[in-house]
Structures are given as structure tokens and as C-alpha cells.
Amino acid sequence: MAITIPPQTQLTGTITTAGLGSGLNVSTIVPQLVSADTQGQSTLLQNQQNSVNAQISAIGKISSAASSLQNAIKALSSGGLQTQTASVSDSSVLSATVTGSTPATSHTVEVQSLAQTQVLTSKAFTNGDATVGSGTLTIGSGSSSFDVAFLNTASLTQIRDAINQASGNTSVTASIVNANDGAHLVLTSRNSGAANTLNITASGGGGGLAVLTTGAGGLTQAQAGTDAQLTVDGFAVTSASNTITGVLDGLTLNLAKAAPGQTVQVNVAQDTSAIVQNVNQFVSAYNALSSAITQQTSFDSSTDTAAPLLGNTSVSMVGRQLRTIAGSAVGNGAFATLAQAGIKPNTDGTLTVDVDQLGKTLAQDPNSVSALLTGAGGIATQLQTNLSNYVGFNGLFTSQTNALQTRLDTINNQQQALQQRAAQLTSMYTAQFSALDTLMSQMQGTNNSLLQALASLPDANKSP
């Protein structure tokens, strides 16, 4: 914060331009005197403020990069190295999706029949405006049911709309099909499977709603609600849904069509490209943090410029610890170092992924790669432990930022005090020069009076 020299305070007799008596330019002299007294301290405080702000910004950049690395490690540790992909021999019959932890293996699946939703149709009515009756329809499916009441005789359209809009309806969709023989109410179960067939009864009214029940003389079943029938690795499986979960751990099967007698091969394999991508994200986050620390703690000899955190031994130590961990050997697996797995260290402290070598190591021994990175004592695990000491409420970066903020507050207070001193000096110098100017004006007046008096004396202008 630069120190501003305040304008001279208006006092009785104060001259803020060239003094009438003294000839002094007070409005120029006073700021110069105040500046001579305060400018050195003002410049020092401004430089200190700029330095502290630069350090706070630098630590913020490093802390942000450290948080990003933490997130990348979490992603790597929570399945990022065990990514699998599933493929099928005939996608027209079914598809498979990896949804959890599952081993790389193969399965055989035969789909005898698909799960279906039940469809019920009414007799033909003249049109949608044809009246049906009054009373209450109770529609049940599985363990749930809901009521639709009609106080007055309702039309086919009104019944359709009331069913679809019923607050408790989670089981059926009503529609009207206008066929050659007339309008039919069609009720379709929203859930497939034999257990979700519809049960509809009518009560009250004049009995007109009976034609819309599942009892005798009521609705006709156009399609039965059935379960999917399939075999998985030779074992019979029945499912109310065509989405099969829980049969194969970590794997979901989505049935598309029935193909009795046809065996579909489901293959689960390591998704090497996805794993390499996850490792690349981890390495990119590591490099961003390493580079941030280097940039903020370095000295550029070509420009003779020091980075904001040059000399901050704590932050420099963080960078050294990162490089030490990244270059260390872990365990007794096939790959004990990052370099052996295809993640090469560079002289500037960053890492480079050799995609071909990493792919080969994953194909050779994926468990060793996983242990190297995210196992107990693994490289990423060690990094995560260290990062927890730097990031967070009680971390190094927070404590250093708080200390710098306290220093910044002190500087701001000193600047405010210096500003007040500048104002006081301005007032004092202005008053002093004003008094001087007044005095010299008075002296000038006295001088003029004396000259006039002398001039009026007899023979004052005569030569001797």
C-alpha cells in the first residue's frame, strides 16, 4: 500500500500556493518534506507486502497441486489398477458390463427366454368417450396396490387418465388403442416378471367397472408376465428382469433376445488401456506438484530473479521427499521400482510413463504393479501418507499460509500507522510554513511602512 501525502489542512492564514510574503511554494514543499520522511519506510513496507502476497500465492498453487495428487492417488487405489472390461461373442443376444471387482475369466451363457411385462386389454368400446361405470378399481402388482375411485360414471378416457395420474401408481401404464372394432383400454405392467402380474378388482357402483378387472368377463391377457430363463456356466438362472445382477460377482448381464440352444461366450479381461490412462493421470498430478515446488523455490540466474519461496526449507523438503519416495524400491515383487514397471524418473524430478513397457508389465504381472503403486508401503501409498502432513487444516501449507497472513496483517497495520504519520507531518509542516508566510508578510508590511515614512521626511529625496 503506497503512502499518500494528504493535502494541506486549511487553517487561518494558511497559504497552499506560493506564499504571499515568503514567496515559497508551500503546496510543493510540504509533500516533498513528508515524502523525504516517509518514502523509505513506505517502499520497504510495500516490498514486504508484495513479497508476502507472492509467497501466499505460491503456497496456494503448491497446495492445490498436492490436493490434485491426493485425488489421483485415491482414484488409483480404489480400483484404478484393477480395471476390467467384458466382451461377448454375440452382442445381439446379450451384453456384459463390469460393475465391480471380478476376476479375468470366461463364462458361458444361454438365454432360453426373456422376461416380459404383462399386457391386459379390454373389450372394444365405441370410442374413448364411451361410458364404463362408477365405483373403485383396486390395482395390485407384486406386494403393492392402489385405488382409483370414480364417484360418477367415467368414460374410457377418464379411466385411463385417472390410472396414470394416481399417486400410488408404480406398477401399471394405461393407454387406449383405437382398433378396427373400436377403442380398447390397454394396461401394461411397468415391471417384468411373473411376480409382477396385475390383479385388478372393482367395488361399488353399478358393476360397470367389472369389465376392467382380471376376473371372469373382464380383461384379456395379451401377453403374460414372465421371468427370464437362462443358464450361466451350466447353472439354471431365473430373473424377473432382463438385467441380471448378482449371478456373477462384479458383472451385469443385459439380455437382448432369446436364443435357445445358442451359447454366448462372456470374456472378462484386464482393461490395460484404462489402467494406463489411470496411471498417466497419477503421473501427471505428481509432475504438476513436483514442477510447482521447483518453480516456486528456484533461482533464475539468467534474469537474476528469485522465486517467492526460495529459501523456504520446509517446502523444498517436500519436493525432496517426493523424489525420494518416487525413486525408492518397494517389496519383493517382480517390479520393485517405478522404473522397472515403466514409469521413468527424469532429472528435473518429474516422471515419464513408458506406455509400451507399462503395458508389458501389466500383462506379465498386474498384481506386482498394483502392489508397487497402491499396496501396503507402495509408492502411491507412501506419497498419500506424506501428503496428509502437508494438506489440510493442520498441514504444513495451511500453517505457513496462516503465518504469512499474520505477517501481512502486521504490514498493513504498519502502513496505516505510516499513513497517519504522513497526515500529521503534512499538517505540522503546513502550519509552520503558514506561520512563516504570515510573519514574512507582516515584516514586508512593516518594511513598506518604514519606506513610506522615510520618503515623506523633508529633504528625504534631496542629494547631499
pLDDT (0 to 100) of residue 264: 98
* 416 and 372 assigned to the same domain: yes
pLDDT tens figures, 371-396: 999 999 999 999 999 999 998 778 89
Is the residue at 444 inside a domain? Answer: no
Cβ of 102: how many Cβ atoms within 10 Å? 15
pLDDT (0 to 100) of residue 197: 96
Is the residue at 181 inside a domain? Answer: yes
* 332 and 408 assigned to the same domain: yes
pLDDT (0 to 100) of residue 34: 79
* 109 and 216 assigned to the same domain: no
* 240 and 362 assigned to the same domain: no
pLDDT band at 464 (very low <50, low <70, confident <90, very high): low
Is the residue at 447 inside a domain? Answer: no
* 162 and 301 assigned to the same domain: no
pLDDT tens figures, 171-190: 999 999 999 999 999 999 99
Is the residue at 321 inside a domain? Answer: yes
pLDDT (0 to 100) of residue 369: 92
Instruction: Assess contact for 362 and 270: CB atoms under 8 A.
Output: yes
pLDDT (0 to 100) of residue 380: 94
- Lowest mean pLDDT, pick from 88-92, 349-353, 393-397: 393-397
pLDDT band at 20 (very low <50, low <70, confident <90, very high): very low
Report the phi/psi class of residue 206: left, alpha or beta, with left for phi > 0 and alpha for psi in -120 to 50: alpha
pLDDT band at 17 (very low <50, low <70, confident <90, very high): very low
Check whether 214 has a pLDDT greater than 90. Answer: yes
The cell for 269 is 479381461
d(CA 61, CA 258): 57
CA atoms within 13 A on the CB side of 388: 7
pLDDT (0 to 100) of residue 461: 56
Is the residue at 166 inside a domain? Answer: yes
Is the residue at 110 inside a domain? Answer: yes
* 194 and 233 assigned to the same domain: no
Is the residue at 449 inside a domain? Answer: no
Give buried/exposed letters for 420-430 (b at 16+ CB in 10 A, else e): eebbebbbebb
d(CA 355, CA 439): 89
Instruction: Assess contact for 194 and 221: CB atoms under 8 A.
Output: no
The cell for 62 is 503448491
pLDDT tens figures, 46-74: 888 888 898 999 999 999 999 999 999 99
The cell for 288 is 504438476
Q: What is the tally of structural domains in the chain?
A: 3
Average of per-residue pLDDT across 79-85:
84
* 315 and 209 assigned to the same domain: no
* 159 and 41 assigned to the same domain: no
pLDDT band at 32 (very low <50, low <70, confident <90, very high): confident
* 207 and 264 assigned to the same domain: no
* 384 and 318 assigned to the same domain: yes
Q: Give me the percent of the chain exceeding a pLDDT of 90.
A: 64
Range of the structural domain that residue 302 is part of: 1-83+272-438
* 110 and 249 assigned to the same domain: yes
Average of per-residue pLDDT across 121-127:
97
- Lowest mean pLDDT, pick from 53-57, 311-315, 340-344, 450-454: 450-454
* 425 and 283 assigned to the same domain: yes
pLDDT (0 to 100) of residue 12: 34
Is the residue at 454 inside a domain? Answer: no
Average of per-residue pLDDT across 255-273:
95
